[in-house]
Amino acid sequence: MPDQDLHLTGSADRTEEFVRLLGQTRRYRFAYLMSLMNHRDNVEEVLQETDLVLWRKFDDFELGTNFTAWSCRVAFNQMRAWRQKQARSRLHFSDEFLTTVASELDTRTERYNQRLELLQACVNLLPDRHKSLIRQRYTDGDKIESIASRTGRSLDAIYRMLSRVRDTLRDCVTRKLEAGIDV
C-alpha cells in the first residue's frame, strides 16, 4: 500500500500521521521480523523497540516516501542489535544470510503491495451488492451468520456468494498480473 504524500502543518498533524502510518504498516513489520526471527515473543520485543525508534526518528522521515520500506529498514537494524544482545542463543544466522533474506522480503513486499493494489482495483469493479458483502465480511469482520440474518439469505447462499466473489477477484488479479497492468 503506497504511502500518500501529505503536507502537514503542525506537530499534532505530524503525530497523527505517524500514528496512522505506524498502524497501517505494523503487520508488514511484524511479518518481516517473523520471517527473520521466527519466534513471536522475540519479534514482539524487537517490534516494540522498532516502534520507539521510528517515533524518535520520525522527523528524519520524508513524507511521501515509502514508510513501509523505511520502517522495515529500522526493524532490520533493531533485529541486528537485538541479536548482538542475545549472543548466548544456540542458533545464529550470519549477517549475510539475514541481509539476503531481508532483500528477498523487500522484493516480496513490493509484489504483495502490487497485488493488494490490483485487488482493490478489482473490488472497485464489483457490483455494489458484492462490494457490500466483501466489506461486511472482511472489512467489518461480520460473521456469516450475521450477514445471512441481515440479508434474509441462507448461510449456504452467503457462503456460495462469497466463494464466487473471491473466485472473481482472484481471476481479475491474475489477469491483471499476467497482462502487466499497473494500478
Tell me the three cell numbers of residue 161.
456468494
Same structural domain, 88 and 117: no
**Confidence category of residue 64, pLDDT binned at 50, 70, 90:** confident
* Residue 152 half-sphere exposure toward CB, CA atoms < 13 A: 0
> For residues 143 and 153, is the Cβ–Cβ distance under 8 A?
no
**Confidence category of residue 44, pLDDT binned at 50, 70, 90:** very high
Among 60, 92, 124, the domain boundary falls at 92
In angstroms, the CA 140 to CA 138 distance is 6
Taking residue 20's Cβ as centre, other Cβ atoms within 10 Å add up to 14
Which one-letter DSSP state was computed for residue 58? Answer: G
pLDDT at site 126: 95
Q: What is the rounded average pLDDT of the residues 62-86? A: 88
In angstroms, the CA 73 to CA 9 distance is 27
**Confidence category of residue 4, pLDDT binned at 50, 70, 90:** very low
- Burial bucket for residue 30 (CB in 10 Å: 0-12, 13-18, 19+): middle
pLDDT digits 0-9 by tens, 7-16:
444 567 888 8
Tell me the three cell numbers of residue 115.
497485488
74 residue type, one letter: V
pLDDT digits 0-9 by tens, 87-140:
665 666 777 888 888 888 877 888 888 888 899 999 999 999 999 998 888 888
- Residue 148, pLDDT > 90, answer yes
Q: What is the rounded average pLDDT of the residues 37-64? A: 89
Name residues whose C-beta falls within 8 Å of residue 29's C-beta, 6 or more positions apart in sequence.
47, 50, 71, 72, 75
Residue 100 within a domain? no
CA angle 168, 118, 13 (to 5 degrees): 130
Q: Which of 147, 150, 146 is nearest to 161 (CA)?
A: 147
Q: What is the rounded average pLDDT of the residues 53-61? A: 90
Report the SS3 class of residue 10: coil
Same structural domain, 2 and 34: yes
pLDDT at site 88: 60
Same structural domain, 75 and 128: no
Same structural domain, 4 and 88: yes
Average pLDDT, rounded, for the chain: 85
**Confidence category of residue 155, pLDDT binned at 50, 70, 90:** very high
pLDDT at site 121: 92
pLDDT at site 2: 41
In angstroms, the CA 128 to CA 124 distance is 9
> For residues 7 and 63, is the Cβ–Cβ distance under 8 A?
yes
Per the structure, how many domains does the chain have?
A: 2
What range defines the domain where residue 31 resides?
1-92
Residues of the chain above pLDDT 70, percent: 89
